[in-house]
A = this chain, B = another copy of it.
Amino acid sequence: MTTAILVSEVGPRDGLQSIAALMPLESKMAWVKAEAAAGVREIEVGSFVPAKLLPQLADTASLVQYALTIPGLTVAVLVPNLHGAQAALRAGAHKITIPLSASETHSLRNVRRTHAQMLEEVRAIAQLIRAMPPQRRPVLEGGLSTAFGCTLEGHVPSMKVIELAEALMRCGCDEVGLSDTTGYANPAQIKSLVREVQSAVGAAAVHSLHLHNTRGLGLANVLAGIEAGITTFDGSLGGLGGCPFAPGASGNIVTEDLVFMLEAMGLDTGIDLPRLLEVRSILRDSLPDEPLYGFTPAAGLPLGYTAAGGTA
């Protein structure tokens, strides 16, 4: 079992896109800066989507530009299509994730595209990236959403997920991530699907999970993922988040609780948890009407808590 885990903060994208309030760019910059200072090494700062669809993320290019000035930080973004990817490449993001919903019904509802149409976009994006000088090429991730079930279709066959993972890699993705967009996943399913997809496209290309805590199984699913060899987990500070297009889906894993579990288990995240907990004040101040979640923030750290890295 691995002893180092990458916690990828997706709150500035997945969290903010699911709430009505707009966070000012200055607050987003303060948030990204503070999390990086607490030791977070990868942050998904936004999404290149039309501002009229998601005004909350309209300043993504500016936030990418700022985040790129922070040493050691991997600056990730989401793009729904080729047009978004072009903007992401112009901005200079280190990592680009394009979601592909394993449920075609969800894909049509979410981005109004079939699987075939989405794969065409992925191929075009990969071609653009390959035309760039190697040292400027971002990592291209295909994010398989609704991989563990769909609020519209229900059960999603693992064969469909495997087939789409293979298609994403053939289209030029560097890696595929599995997303439990709807909070349907359970630990047994996490282990079996991760292993099946790893067998199909190679373990090196399947190292990240995006999990929701909709039914309270988020951290149990993380544990199952670790046992299957996953080393990157998304979280959202204060549990901001969810998918506004999947009815009934809500709640990313709370980054604070995720880091607490990993560090308590002796898995090194490189994150200073007490310092991470302080970052919540930026959310409280800039989004005063949004509820923040998290068990560890509410209960506090255990008496005598020691982080995996040895820092208290």
Q: Hey, which bits of chain A sit against chain B, CB under 8 A?
A: 149-155, 182-184, 186-189, 213-217, 219-220, 222-224, 248, 250, 254, 257, 260-261, 264-266, 294-296, 299-300, 302-304
Contacts and interface: CB of A to CB of B under 8 A. Distances in A.
A296 B186 CA distance: 12
Given A149-B302, A186-B264, A220-B261, 13 more contacts: A154-B302, A155-B304, A186-B265, A213-B295, A214-B299, A215-B261, A215-B299, A216-B219, A216-B260, A217-B219, A217-B260, A220-B222, A248-B300
A112 B266 CA distance: 35
B154 A304 contact: yes
A215 B296 contact: yes
A23 to B, nearest CB: 25
Given A188-B266, A223-B224, A266-B188, A261 B302 contact: no
Chain B CB within 10 A, most for which of A182, A187, A248, A294: A187
Q: How many copies does the complex hold?
A: 2
Contacts of A265: 186-189
A163 B182 CA distance: 45
Instruction: Please classify the interface of chain A as helix (H, G, I), strand (E, B), loop, or mixed, using the class held by over half of its residues.
Output: loop
Contacts of A260: 215-217
Contacts of A261: 186-187, 215-217, 220
Chain B CB within 10 A, most for which of A149, A189, A299, A303: A299
Contact of A303 (B151, B302, B303): B151
Contacts of A189: 264-265
Contacts of A151: 302-303
Q: Lowest 7 A-B CB distances belong to which pairs?
A: A154-B304, A216-B295, A186-B264, A154-B303, A188-B265, A219-B220, A216-B257
Nearest to A293: B216
Contacts of A300: 248
Contact of A296 (B153, B188, B216, B304): B216
Nearest to A249: B299
Chain B CB within 10 A, most for which of A154, A186, A248: A186
Contacts of A188: 264-266
A276 B150 CA distance: 24
Contacts of A153: 303
